């Protein structure tokens, strides 16, 4: 056996052992033997680089560094699923399906795993690409990181197709998650919050070697491709297992809805026995032919439904109701809660939605409330424990003025939401509109997150999104902004608010030496720095002894300080107060006035002028705060940001239209408007009647569009965007011919070429593809295995049916 054959043989043997261990959970050799064989292969590969293979088992350990993850389009869109929460929801869904397809309908039931969605592309049996879900149309290429996950096959076995995609979830098993957290706690670091977020974050690490050290797993469940060798979803799961994929065994073929509900009820009880997080069951129409007939809505497949298990529920204390301002001026009341663990995360806040919801539930500050996670994602308050209510409590009075700019709020007739009408001056509205403009689904300007936008806004460089295209490097380099970790702003005009956890951590430097974890624990149980003095300490453990020392030091320091001079929000501490507490000698130098806001540059310069000799003590404290409470624009950030802004000028018209933020005009709506009107001038000149004639544009959306373009300010901003070079018209691509102009086609079945290629040819010759038949459809192109319901519908509506050969004859 020559060297190349030895290498190939070892690779095949190790891949087989890998499959046995990570997919079948049935190892046939010891870990020591596996490591020995892996080492033998590494030695051979290093000595003979000419036999390099990107899918070699030796590359599972990672080592590739990815600075920026390339965004790539999905060959097949990744849709989201429609959710259901009751038997009635599933029954309604079943009725809709039965009206649209012929014959009996069977279902495949699968568990809904809670992880990070992934799409894997295989070509000739080799892993070619791994892409995140992204916005469904495109995602980030994270192939280097996914290669390190042992349950992801690098080579397939059996009768796999030459090219296909397979979808699934990257998950972090409970056991591995617990082990990772135990190691972090031992090192004095914060534990991770939940497996789902940790798995998702792991996939975007720049060093694939670090990903390889994390016990990630990959569960696959959905095939996508042309002419796949399967006819049902259940068969596709079995095939995927044969090809080497880790497909969960917990799947069932159900003949009717009663059997679906049996599966749901069983796993609602037994899901806690699984090694992974699950939050429901996915029910799919089993026949792939019926799936094709049912098709898709704008957001989800009609042939699948996610049944969500009942959310976990806890009770906790509502301390305070505060109010947030959105980019449209909408006011959202927020419940600030006693921190409580819910579905693996610590919940401190929950949305109260609007004034009607507060009145309906009769929620008051000081109430004990019931909290659950809607869909186990967003916390919401579902009721009040009236048995715990203080008899002297007062009903909640909804605010009448904007909490940010003081403008009287308005509430339109028939609307639940209050609004701040101060569109041009209210900071959260301005920042929110710019943030929406730069978001991924809009102009997709990387490196322009909320923190950077706030730096630019509060330093006076941008007042609207058109200003982004006129930024200069020399103006933005070095700009900084101090943040409080939660709301990223100065709640008191001249008093920086540091979150309580960070403040305790900073003070405990030589005042008790609390770890960050200790500081977080303490801050979750108190509401102000003064509460530390009254905190009951158990001095029988090391944590308690540290707290006693902190209490003693804090009590002595507070004796000479009037807290009225240092206003602090609940859960935060005035930065100026921290300076007074920790460094009274510095403050006594009269360099720092109580009513001024400080930044690091000011402090550094002042210390140099004073020749203060305790800088060694002062700097670590400042740095501990600065690392968590300051964001600045440095050279690389500035350069990349300007490049990203320039690159955004190539975004298509529909993206620009979505980005400018017309109220209630979403991503799909913007695309429909762009296709219909072709350019912005046509849209701006459209009448109310023109607008409501368009699909999905109703009365309120039409009025919003007219009002948006009636604003002189908006017109000025758009003119600046035009000058900057953004696209305000659809660039018509050159057609192969216009022979199909005015014709609409439905393509159904399988053909000699891929269906997507056939659709492309239709569009390249002036035709239009539609997903479902109607009386306006010109032709139904009939392929093999077309569903009978489409044929019946075409005959009923006198739609002409043609073969693939007939279609190509039309182009001659």
Domains and CATH numbers, the chain: 3-61 (1.10.287.610), 71-308 (3.30.470.30), 497-632 (no CATH), 651-732 (1.10.150.20), 744-810 (3.40.50.10190)
Q: Is 639 marked within a binding site?
A: no
Q: How far apart are CA 220 and CA 110, in angstroms?
A: 11
Residue 537 in this model has a pLDDT that exceeds 70: yes
Strands 630-632 and 278-285: unpaired
Give the model's confidence band at 615: pLDDT under 50 very low, under 70 low, under 90 confident, else very high.
very low
Who's near 619: CB < 8 A, 6+ residues apart?
A: none
Q: Which residue has the higher pLDDT, 652 or 480?
A: 652
* Helices and strands (H and E) in the chain: how many: 31, 24
Give the per-residue pLDDT at 707.
94
**604-624: average pLDDT:** 50
Joined tokens for residue 217:
């797993």
User: Is there a contact between 541 and 527 (Cβ–Cβ < 8 Å)?
Assistant: no
Give the per-residue pLDDT at 483.
52
**674-680: average pLDDT:** 90
Residue 302 in this model has a pLDDT that exceeds 50: yes
Under DSSP, the state recorded for 531 is G
Residue-wise DSSP of 737-806: -STTTT-EEEEESB-SS-HHHHHHHHHHTT-EE-SS--TT--EEEE-BT--HHHHHHHHHTTPEEE-HHH
Q: Is 402 marked within a binding site?
A: yes
Q: What percent of the chain has pLDDT over 70?
A: 87
Give the per-residue pLDDT at 374.
55
Q: Is 420 marked within a binding site?
A: yes
112 tagged catalytic: yes
Give the per-residue pLDDT at 757.
82
Give the per-residue pLDDT at 737.
84
Q: Which residue has the higher pLDDT, 17 or 67?
A: 17
Q: Is 109 marked within a binding site?
A: no
Q: Is 729 marked within a binding site?
A: no
pTM for the full predicted model: 0.57
Mean residue pLDDT of the chain comes to 83
User: Is there a contact between 424 and 609 (Cβ–Cβ < 8 Å)?
Assistant: no
SS3 state of residue 618: helix
User: Is there a contact between 346 and 339 (Cβ–Cβ < 8 Å)?
Assistant: yes
User: Is there a contact between 209 and 147 (Cβ–Cβ < 8 Å)?
Assistant: no
> Where in 467-583 does DSSP place strands (E)?
480-482, 497-499, 572-574
CB atoms within 10 A of CB 43: 11
Residue 608 in this model has a pLDDT that exceeds 90: no
Give the per-residue pLDDT at 487.
40
**237-247: average pLDDT:** 95
Who's near 318: CB < 8 A, 6+ residues apart?
A: 335, 336, 337, 338, 363, 364, 365, 366, 367, 368, 369, 381
Q: Is 277 marked within a binding site?
A: no
User: Averaging pLDDT over each range in 710-714, 739-743, 762-766, which range is the top one?
Assistant: 710-714
User: Is there a contact between 222 and 166 (Cβ–Cβ < 8 Å)?
Assistant: yes
**433-454: average pLDDT:** 90
User: Is there a contact between 168 and 120 (Cβ–Cβ < 8 Å)?
Assistant: yes
CB atoms within 10 A of CB 719: 11
Nearest C-alpha neighbor of 338 from the set 388, 301, 291: 388
Q: Is 110 marked within a binding site?
A: yes
Who's near 12: CB < 8 A, 6+ residues apart?
A: none
Please give the angle made by the CA atoms of 391, 397 and 398, to the nearest 5 degrees.
145
CA dist 461 to 126, 195, 386, 720, 789, Å? Answer: 50, 40, 50, 15, 60
Nearest C-alpha neighbor of 775 from the set 747, 800, 742: 800
Residue 208 in this model has a pLDDT that exceeds 60: yes
Tell me which H or E stretch contains 130.
strand 126-132
Give the model's confidence band at 375: pLDDT under 50 very low, under 70 low, under 90 confident, else very high.
very low
**715-724: average pLDDT:** 96
Cα atoms in the 13 Å half-sphere on the side-chain side of 115: 27
Who's near 199: CB < 8 A, 6+ residues apart?
A: 115, 116, 170, 171, 172, 216
Q: Is 31 marked within a binding site?
A: yes
| Percent helix, percent strand, percent coil in the chain, to nearest 5 | 40, 20, 40
User: Is there a contact between 181 and 191 (Cβ–Cβ < 8 Å)?
Assistant: yes
CA dist 483 to 439, 450, 529, 619, 635, Å? Answer: 21, 11, 19, 18, 20
Q: Is 81 marked within a binding site?
A: yes
Q: Is 133 marked within a binding site?
A: yes
Length of the chain: 812
Q: Is 214 marked within a binding site?
A: no
**742-769: average pLDDT:** 86
Give the model's confidence band at 628: pLDDT under 50 very low, under 70 low, under 90 confident, else very high.
very low
Which residue in the list 112, 373, 582, 624 is annotated as catalytic? 112
Who's near 389: CB < 8 A, 6+ residues apart?
A: 364, 366, 367, 368
> Where in 309-439 does DSSP place strands (E)?
313-325, 331-342, 345-351, 368-374, 378-384
Tell me which H or E stretch contains 224.
strand 217-224
Residue 14 in this model has a pLDDT that exceeds 60: yes
**454-471: average pLDDT:** 93
**375-392: average pLDDT:** 81
């Amino acid at each position: 056996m020559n060297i190349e054959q030895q290498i190939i043989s070892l690779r095949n043997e190790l891949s087989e052992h890998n499959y046995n261990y990570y997919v079948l959970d049935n190892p046939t050799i010891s870990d020591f033997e596996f490591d020995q064989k892996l080492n033998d292969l590494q030695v051979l590969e290093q000595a003979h680089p000419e036999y390099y293979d990107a899918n070699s088992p030796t590359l599972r350990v990672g080592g590739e560094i990815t600075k920026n993850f390339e965004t790539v389009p999905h060959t097949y869109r990744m849709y989201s699923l429609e959710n259901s929460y009751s038997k009635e929801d599933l029954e309604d869904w079943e009725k809709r399906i039965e009206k649209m397809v012929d014959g009996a309908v069977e279902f495949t039931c699968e568990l809904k795993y809670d992880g990070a969605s992934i799409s894997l592309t295989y070509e000739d049996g080799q892993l070619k690409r791994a892409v995140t879900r992204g916005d469904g149309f495109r995602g980030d290429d994270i192939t280097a990181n996914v290669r390190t996950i042992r349950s992801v096959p690098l080579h397939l076995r059996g009768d796999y197709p030459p090219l296909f995609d397979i979808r699934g979830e990257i998950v972090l098993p409970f056991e591995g998650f617990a082990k990772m957290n135990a190691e972090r706690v031992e090192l004095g670091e914060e534990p991770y919050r939940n497996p789902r977020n940790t798995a998702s974050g792991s996939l975007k690490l720049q060093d694939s070697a670090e990903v390889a050290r994390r016990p990630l797993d990959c569960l696959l469940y959905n095939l996508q491709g042309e002419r796949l060798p399967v006819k049902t979803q259940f068969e596709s799961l079995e095939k995927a297992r044969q090809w080497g994929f880790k497909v969960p065994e917990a799947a069932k073929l159900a003949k009717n809805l009663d059997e679906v509900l049996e599966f749901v009820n069983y796993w609602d009880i037994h899901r806690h026995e699984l090694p992974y997080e699950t939050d429901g069951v996915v029910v799919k129409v089993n026949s792939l032919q019926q799936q094709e007939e049912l098709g898709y809505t704008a957001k989800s497949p009609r042939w699948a439904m996610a049944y969500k298990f009942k959310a976990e529920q806890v009770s906790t204390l509502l301390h305070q109701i505060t109010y947030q301002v959105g980019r449209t001026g909408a006011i959202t009341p927020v419940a600030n809660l006693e921190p409580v663990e819910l579905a693996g995360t610590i919940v401190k806040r929950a949305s109260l939605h609007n004034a009607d919801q507060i009145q309906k539930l009769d929620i008051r500050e000081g109430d004990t409330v019931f909290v659950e996670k809607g869909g186990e994602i967003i916390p919401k308050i579902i009721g009040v424990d009236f048995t715990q209510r203080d008899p002297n409590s007062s009903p909640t009075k909804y605010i009448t003025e904007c909490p940010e700019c003081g403008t009287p709020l308005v509430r339109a007739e028939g609307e639940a939401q209050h609004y701040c009408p101060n569109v041009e001056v209210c900071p959260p509205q301005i920042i929110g509109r710019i943030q929406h403009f730069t978001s991924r689904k809009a102009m997709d300007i990387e490196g322009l997150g909320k923190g950077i936008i706030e730096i630019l806004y509060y330093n006076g460089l941008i007042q609207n999104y058109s200003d982004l295209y006129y930024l200069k490097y020399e103006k933005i380099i070095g700009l900084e902004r101090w943040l409080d970790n939660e709301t990223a702003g100065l709640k008191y005009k001249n008093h920086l608010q540091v979150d309580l956890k960070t403040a305790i951590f900073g003070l405990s430097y030589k005042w008790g030496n609390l770890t960050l974890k200790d500081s977080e624990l303490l801050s979750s149980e108190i509401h102000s720095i003064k509460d530390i003095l009254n905190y009951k300490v158990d001095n029988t453990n090391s944590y308690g002894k540290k707290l006693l020392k902190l209490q003693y030091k804090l009590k002595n320091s507070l004796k000479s300080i009037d807290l009225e001079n240092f206003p602090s929000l609940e859960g935060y501490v005035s930065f100026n107060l921290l300076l007074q507490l920790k460094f009274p000698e510095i403050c006594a130098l009269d360099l720092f006035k109580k009513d001024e806001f400080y930044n690091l540059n000011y402090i550094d310069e002042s210390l140099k002028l004073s020749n203060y000799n305790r800088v060694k003590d002062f700097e670590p404290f400042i740095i501990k705060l600065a690392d968590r409470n300051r964001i600045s624009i440095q050279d690389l950030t500035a350069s990349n940001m300007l490049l990203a802004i320039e690159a955004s000028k190539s975004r298509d018209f529909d993206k620009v239209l979505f980005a400018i933020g017309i109220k209630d005009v979403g991503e799909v709506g913007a695309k429909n408007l762009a296709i219909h009107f072709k350019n912005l001038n046509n849209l701006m000149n459209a009448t109310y009647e023109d607008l409501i004639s368009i699909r999905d544009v109703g009365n309120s959306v039409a009025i919003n569009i007219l009002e948006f373009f009636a604003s002189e300010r908006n017109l000025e901003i758009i003119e600046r965007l035009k000058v900057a070079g953004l696209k305000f018209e659809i660039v018509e691509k050159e057609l192969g011919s216009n022979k199909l102009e005015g014709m609409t086609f439905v393509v159904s079945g399988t053909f000699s070429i891929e269906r997507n290629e056939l659709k492309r040819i239709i569009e390249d010759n002036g035709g239009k593809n539609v997903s479902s038949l109607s009386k306006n459809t010109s032709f139904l192109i009939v392929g093999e295995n077309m569903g009978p319901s489409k044929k019946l519908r075409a005959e009923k509506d006198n739609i002409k049916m043609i073969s693939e050969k007939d279609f190509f004859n039309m182009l001659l």
